[in-house]
Structure 1
Amino acid sequence: MKKWTTIAFTAALAVTVTACSSNAGNPAANAGGAGADPGGGSGQPVTLKIVYKDEGTSNAASVKFFQELEKALAKDEGLDVKFELVDLAQGSYAENLNLLLLGGTIPDIIYFQGGDQQMAEQGLLEDLTPYIEKSEHLKTILEPHNQTRMASYPYLLWIKPLAPKVPVVRADWFEAMDSSKALTADPSVDNYYAFFKELAEKKPGSGKPSYALTAAGDIAEINTIFNAAFGLDQTWIKKDDGTFEYSRISEGEKEKLAFYNKLYKEGLLDPQFITKQWDTKEDAFYKGEAGVITGTAGKIIDLYNGRMQELGGESAKLVVLPPAKGVSQGFGATDVTKESRGLAISSQSANKEAAFQVFDYLASPKGQMLDRLGYEGENYAVVDGKIELNDNYYNNWYARFWEPVEIKSEIPLQTPLLGEPGAKSLELASTFYTEDNSFIIPEQFVANWDAMNNLYKEYSTDFITGKKDLSEFGAFVDAWNAAGGADITAYANETIQ
């Protein structure tokens, strides 16, 4: 991750001056609190700018949610706020967010999916620790892994279940194939290959799929299925001599890339996986072009399930597949150094207290009912004093903010929060949970780390597609070490206990 330039500081300071000037004499804008007048006696609501992936002004569901949240905050908290959704251009969210922030537009609330560390290093993200300590609700819903991550990196909040990417396939296709039983009994790499082979050749259903597996842009999603099977179950692999080496330069990585190359050459891996985005990946799955995709365990899998059944009928419900089994088995070790994605509050915001009050309210029983359950009459009904969730909830609703394991709803639930596929995916995620041994890359290595990861992406893509032969893997390792890998490996061996 590259450090920000001086222009970013200048832009941020300009925003700060403008924001502070516009809120001069407005103590409630920073004080917040139930019953406070956020307008500082002016009668004007506090405007909170928020940038959030997929939650823009063109999304009618997003606009409605934030309007309903405004009403709930006013009613329950006495907090008069106006959310201003900041739109980004189509394409890479992380890249477009970076352009927005470098251009001097720094919203009060920012959703990051990478790229946050460069802002934190420049002091542009608020340390949330004191806010959490004083909170009424939010501190009570933090999971242990959230607490561990916040202790070392207190800028991002993402209170969700541990939810790796998990593979899914249509049940009617799964049940139509002979290889499915063997895969269920023993999800070895060989049995996965046989399953993919039959899926692409037998083309169950409507004469599709064209290929067995697709992904969005790189191999990270596919790795969640296969990494552990090739012994890549942590970022740093302990060798026989007791020292650590980076997993991506190990012999296991080379073997895994050879397997991916085999899938690619035989047409089992989508030949356009490199250029696919998340939406085109999902579209290929819904259209039946791809037999298997990965999705985030939990609610996202239920959304996939609902959409697939809308298109293919009840028999098209989804089956969650296990991780491949080999040297080890799992969906990948969990990084507990920091949240990999999440919501932050800008340190430049003039309304930091009000922004965090929104966070805290969404952790309350009333806030959870809105965020987790949706709207009465649309997503659920109250029957005999209990909440009954309907198909519109299971197929369309998702929490935009916090999803603690235990929901504190004012009205008890009659029906479970997750459908069968979503629940199964989280069950598997829990079964195969392990902690990673990764660490936050020190600032002096950040630029090198960025370059090294780009080097890996370039080489790994070429190995998979056959542009480079795997006999050149040693050349990649040499290039990786020369780009800074040797220094970071030395640091890792001093750091990892």
Structure 2
Amino acid sequence: MKKNKKFMVSAMSLVMAFGLAACSEDSAKDSKGGDKDGKTTIRLVMKDDGPSNPAAVKYYDNLEKALKADENLDVDIELVEVPQGNYSEKLNLLLYSGDIPDLIYFQGGDQQIAEQNLLEDLTPYIEDSKYLKDLLQPYNEKRLENYPYLLWVKPLDSKTPVVRADWFNQVPSAQEFIANPTTDNYYKFFKELLAVPNGPKNGVSVAGDITELDYMFEMAFGINQTWLKKDDGTYEYSKVSNKEKEKLAFYNQLYKDGILDPQYLTKQWDTKEKAFYDGETGVIVGTNGKVVDLYNGKMKQVNGDSAELVVLPPAKGEFQGFAPTDITKESRGMAISSQSENKEIAFKILDYLASPKGQMFDRLGFEGEHYNIVDNQIELTDKYYGEWYARYWEATDLKTEQPLKTPLLSEPAVKSQELAKEFYSEDNSFMIPEEHVSKWDAMENLYKEYATDIITGKRPIDDFDSFVKEWEKAGGKELTDYANKTIK
């Protein structure tokens, strides 16, 4: 109950903050949105894109010029700085303080804001859009139907495992493994990878928890959805199933045998990637497409062309795939403040970025830096492959004014996208009602505690049964009853 009270106080503080911000709006229009030098000021907050980031400042300066030239939209995009640290937490502190931008990028923490009616329903804007409605994929549409406050038009966000080709080619069972990637063959591949001369110190590293491992292995153990259908037709939570117990026993074996990075619990995304480039770890996972492309470019830059990445398939067992796709809501994305006086103009910026010219701008970077026009063709530079990414939308079919001389994505990145599409499946998860959130959080923390201790050998695998009993007492039975009424 303490957490619920804390949430209520925070929510009341946020509402009061919005009221205070509204009262002071007339005296602060130049810095808080409104008109500035004849332009409409749109305040925007996005992870890593504060005014102290020169690349972000250049991006939005150029975006303002493009909006004026292509859409006759005269705006001043004011970037809001978020302190270093956990972005979701720091952003919510910013919002609670009453500093409310027009456009807000969320990476978690949005649901409690939306429940206070402080985020705009994007449905009518998208329906009336010039460009965005044509970019939506079926999973985007389903997520918006369930939760119309976040928009994030990107390819499937499945994460795919990658390894250096120069090491992969020295693994005796590599081709056998690719043809039949069972969990046993995955284990054998890892053991042989560790035996490669001057090879990695551990087989696979992940960022802080087992989520990334699950992308590789979970479905092979029969965990194809969050709620598993039992023989009697009822549903049970996958993390308290016998299939989960088998999976954790496998992860424990990986840990004991030095395959799973012994420091995986303290790794962050950047230290995980550094260990990969430095040759300390053999395999990491990255979001298919552009992230794999960035990994590939950086790996070749550090270790030479022979270290081009090979994309590995998901483990094969009862099912095969890179974890089911959640369609309850976007896990991240752009929102518009319901308190903004410039909602329509804010959305026009998002819509422009879905236009052919907006896509050229967002996807290709700056001419002369990330691409050059050579013989009336677009030639992407090494800098494009090494650092550029689309900040906003990524249409599956990019139409450019001149033909592309070089492909947008490297072969490994394209392969990762193909595998993500091939193994697409939908999850049956649902948003947890507010009255159950505090219990759910406690149950998830209980799972993480037991899973970590089992994997690292602090607890025997049989303690999983004790976890299940504790989980049920902590609210699991109640949530399971709700799930069986909710899932159609």
Range of TM-score over shorter length? over 0.9
Contact 1:126/1:155, CA 8 A, preserved across alignment? yes
Contact 1:16/1:349, CA 8 A, preserved across alignment? no
Contact 1:19/1:349, CA 8 A, preserved across alignment? no
Aligned to 2:187: 193
Pick from 166, 171, 192 the counterpart of residue 165 of structure 2.
171
* C-alpha distance in 1 between matches for 2:173 and 2:39: 60
3-state DSSP of counterpart to 2:145: helix
Contact 2:107/2:332, CA 8 A, preserved across alignment? yes
Amino acid at match of 1:300: V
Aligned to 2:91: 97
* C-alpha distance in 1 between matches for 2:460 and 2:80: 45
* C-alpha distance in 2 between matches for 1:395 and 1:182: 32
CA drift at 1:384: 4.1
* 1:292 and 2:283 aligned: yes
Q: Which runs of 5+ in 2 are unaligned?
A: none
* C-alpha distance in 2 between matches for 1:17 and 1:277: 41
1:367-406 mapped onto 2 (5 Å cutoff) = 367-406=358-397
Aligned to 1:17: 23
Pick from 139, 148, 167 the counterpart of residue 154 of structure 1.
148
* C-alpha distance in 1 between matches for 2:89 and 2:231: 40
Amino acid at match of 2:422: T
Contact 1:19/1:350, CA 8 A, preserved across alignment? no
* 1:456 and 2:447 aligned: yes
Amino acid at match of 2:232: D
CA drift at 1:377: 2.0
Aligned to 1:54: 48
* C-alpha distance in 1 between matches for 2:80 and 2:469: 44
* C-alpha distance in 2 between matches for 1:258 and 1:49: 49
Matched-pair identity in %: 59
* C-alpha distance in 1 between matches for 2:28 and 2:80: 19
Pick from 139, 143, 147 the counterpart of residue 145 of structure 1.
139
* C-alpha distance in 2 between matches for 1:48 and 1:467: 52
Structure-2 change in CA distance of 1:54 and 1:235 (3 Å): same
Pick from 256, 260, 263 the counterpart of residue 265 of structure 1.
256
Amino acid at match of 2:73: L
Instruction: Calculate the aligned-residue CA RMSD, in Å.
Output: 2.0
CA drift at 1:290: 1.0
Aligned to 2:101: 107
Query: Structure 1 stretch 51-60 or stretch 155-164: which is displaced more?
Result: 51-60
Aligned to 1:438: 429
How many residues end up aligned between the 2 structures?
A: 481
Contact 1:16/1:350, CA 8 A, preserved across alignment? no
* C-alpha distance in 1 between matches for 2:38 and 2:394: 32
1:328-367 mapped onto 2 (5 Å cutoff) = 328-367=319-358
Pick from 55, 64, 73 the counterpart of residue 70 of structure 1.
64
1:183-202 superposed Cα distances (whole Å, 9 cap, x missing partner)? 112111111111122222x2
Contact 1:166/1:321, CA 8 A, preserved across alignment? yes
Contact 1:303/1:394, CA 8 A, preserved across alignment? yes
Contact 2:170/2:196, CA 8 A, preserved across alignment? no
CA drift at 1:23: 4.7
3-state DSSP of counterpart to 1:8: helix
* C-alpha distance in 2 between matches for 1:441 and 1:470: 29
Structure-2 change in CA distance of 1:93 and 1:71 (3 Å): same
CA drift at 1:416: 2.7
* C-alpha distance in 2 between matches for 1:209 and 1:181: 19
* C-alpha distance in 1 between matches for 2:78 and 2:271: 28
CA drift at 1:391: 2.6
TM (norm. structure 2) is: 0.94
1:248-259 mapped onto 2 (5 Å cutoff) = 248-259=239-250
Structure-2 change in CA distance of 1:274 and 1:103 (3 Å): farther
CA drift at 1:454: 1.7
Amino acid at match of 2:323: G
Contact 1:100/1:106, CA 8 A, preserved across alignment? yes
* C-alpha distance in 1 between matches for 2:208 and 2:19: 36
CA drift at 1:99: 2.4
CA drift at 1:327: 1.0
3-state DSSP of counterpart to 2:24: helix
1:229-283 superposed Cα distances (whole Å, 9 cap, x missing partner)? 0111111101111111011111011111111111112221112211211111111
Q: Which runs of 5+ in 1 are unaligned?
A: 30-37
3-state DSSP of counterpart to 1:470: coil
1:367-390 superposed Cα distances (whole Å, 9 cap, x missing partner)? 111001112222222344432323
1:458-477 superposed Cα distances (whole Å, 9 cap, x missing partner)? 22111111222221111211
Aligned to 2:292: 301
Contact 1:169/1:319, CA 8 A, preserved across alignment? yes
* 1:465 and 2:459 aligned: no
Contact 1:23/1:350, CA 8 A, preserved across alignment? no
CA drift at 1:21: 5.5
* C-alpha distance in 2 between matches for 1:466 and 1:382: 57
CA drift at 1:203: 4.2
CA drift at 1:492: 1.1
3-state DSSP of counterpart to 1:343: strand
Aligned to 2:207: 216
Aligned to 2:480: 489
CA drift at 1:338: 0.9
Contact 1:164/1:332, CA 8 A, preserved across alignment? yes
